[in-house]
Chain A
């Protein structure tokens, strides 16, 4: 803590010339409105830091120390505006006279010169929260409770932290979406592998038991442990050219698709209906729709903000700080739109997870149809898969969802007309095939197992990369909360 001994203020704010003897004590200044009470605080802050807090922050657009710190009669003569403080620094046990002119606010004269006092002044300059204006106190009292933390952040001059927190939240939202999709793909690949292996849970022991049982039929050595490079079909002659068709497995794949296919018309129906209802609300309320569209635009603008020029319209602002607050104020006005946006994205994500699951079921059957010479059905399934892949990206944006409204109302899965008939025909074809010998069954079982194990590993690798991103929001939860507590 420092103690003020005296102050000499000349031509600063509303003060022409003023001497005050603080006597190192607590000092109260009183007077009618406009008499210059706050000007004294401004002058002291300026002498200590070279800044005037009241000329920065919200509601100070167009204000600056250079133009607004001098007395109104001395705006063109900033050299005449200066503050001289006699200050006692208890930590170093010294007093010094500090003089600072408005014409060169970054330059301070300390008499007698002292490195200790220069260091103390540098520390003070790092703490703009040392001054608290009446305006800030009043605003804190009057603000609605839900926005009080923002006011505290402003009072403590923690705007940079607030902006960092916004970037963290934006990253969190983006990463959660990516991570969720990755998890769904792993789940799909795992289910396909388990379906083939016929094991209830995917673990080393059960997987090796299923594989080694077939390896024993083929007199191949057992695999004792799973390693990163383990090949489940190791030892089979030319496995890359081996026949992948395993009748039992093929029938299981067909059943895995045909059983849920009965429920396809109602898949994620609740979520689709909710999206259609929300889109209907937006259509009926153009102001709400405009607010929501603006949200996306403003959110993007805040992300791109890097300087005093608006990234959305190129309008120049006095500084980036004002522009950021302007954009945030616009966002705050569209809370209802925000709720709808969150609901749309939440329901869109739920449908995306189902899309990934269906694509996972279609994959093995498409391959089976292709290998069995059923090119038309394979083509139908390939086209449907592509259709569903493109659907995923549309479910992640408001514009995409708006374009999908009719499809969501009519049945978003868009099941091809020929699907059920083609599935039935392929199933009959597979059933009619002669049962495979134990040897062929074991060979094809291992070949298919290796292929699906490879797919699962790839999905896991990809998910790990995404999880390493996905870890970000979880780890930031506490620090964000810490920032919230501070702010």
Chain B
């Protein structure tokens, strides 16, 4: 069993995955960020959720 903090982070990531509004790559990056000993910064979070592509627009 992992620490309470890790359990919360896992629950959070599971909710994101279930929401299906975040792609797998973003969740992977977020998981990596949250697992680092260094605390996440707002800039780091913004960078993860800023995608280079913008999808197809009719």
Which residues in A have some Cβ–Cβ distance to B below 8 Å?
123, 126-129, 156-158, 160-161, 163-164, 167-168, 170-171, 174-175, 204, 226-228, 230, 303, 306, 457, 460-462, 464-465, 468-469, 471-472, 474-475, 478-479, 482-483, 486
Contact = CB atoms under 8 A, between A and B. Distances in A.
Nearest to B50: A469
Given A160-B39, A163-B39, A457-B57, A465 B11 contact: no
Contact of A464 (B1, B9, B38, B57): B57
A306 B41 CA distance: 9
A306 B36 CA distance: 13
A158 B46 contact: no
Contacts of A475: 16, 19, 21-22
Q: Is the interface of A mostly helix, strand, loop or mixed?
A: helix
A474 B42 CA distance: 15
Given A167-B40, A174-B42, A464-B55, A471 B11 contact: no
Nearest to B19: A475
Contacts of B12: 479, 482-483
A482 B50 contact: no
B42 A483 contact: no
Given A127-B4, A460-B57, A486-B8, A164 B21 contact: no
A123 B1 contact: yes
Contact of A171 (B1, B6, B42, B58): B42
A385 to B, nearest CB: 25
A126 B8 contact: no
Interface in B6-48: 6, 8-9, 11-12, 15-16, 19, 21-22, 34, 38-42, 44-46
Contacts of A167: 39-42, 44-45
Interface residues of B, number: 32
25 contacts: A123-B1, A126-B1, A126-B2, A156-B4, A161-B8, A164-B39, A167-B40, A171-B45, A175-B46, A227-B58, A461-B54, A461-B57, A464-B54, A465-B50, A465-B54, A468-B51, A471-B21, A472-B45, A472-B46, A472-B49, A475-B16, A475-B21, A482-B11, A483-B12, A486-B8
A228 B56 contact: yes
Contacts of A478: 15
Contacts of B19: 475
Q: Which of B5, B12, B21, B41 has the most CB of A within 10 A?
A: B5
Nearest to A463: B54
Contacts of A479: 11-12, 15-16
Given A167-B42, A175-B46, A468-B51, A228 B58 contact: yes
Contacts of B51: 465, 468
Contacts of A174: 42, 46
Nearest to B38: A306
A157 B11 CA distance: 17
Given A156-B4, A465-B50, 7 more contacts: A126-B3, A127-B4, A129-B4, A161-B9, A164-B39, A461-B54, A464-B54
Give the top 10 A-B pairs by smallest Cβ distance, nearest first. A479-B12, A170-B42, A126-B3, A171-B42, A171-B45, A461-B54, A472-B49, A464-B54, A226-B58, A468-B51
A228 B57 contact: yes
A464 B57 CA distance: 10
Contacts of B46: 171, 174-175, 469, 472
A156 B4 CA distance: 8
Contacts of B49: 175, 468-469, 471-472
Contacts of A170: 42
Nearest to B18: A478
A392 to B, nearest CB: 19
A446 B51 CA distance: 33
A363 B37 CA distance: 50
A482 B8 contact: yes
Contacts of A127: 3-4
A174 B16 CA distance: 20
B54 to A, nearest CB: 4
A175 B50 CA distance: 10
Contacts of A457: 57
Q: Which of A168, A461, A468 has most B Cβ within 10 Å?
A: A468
Contacts of B58: 204, 226-228, 230
Given A204-B58, A468-B50, A471-B21, A303 B15 contact: no
Contacts of A163: 39
A158 B6 CA distance: 10
A160 B6 CA distance: 10
A177 to B, nearest CB: 12
A171 B40 CA distance: 11
Contacts of B8: 158, 161, 482-483, 486
Contacts of A168: 42, 45
Contacts of B15: 478-479, 482
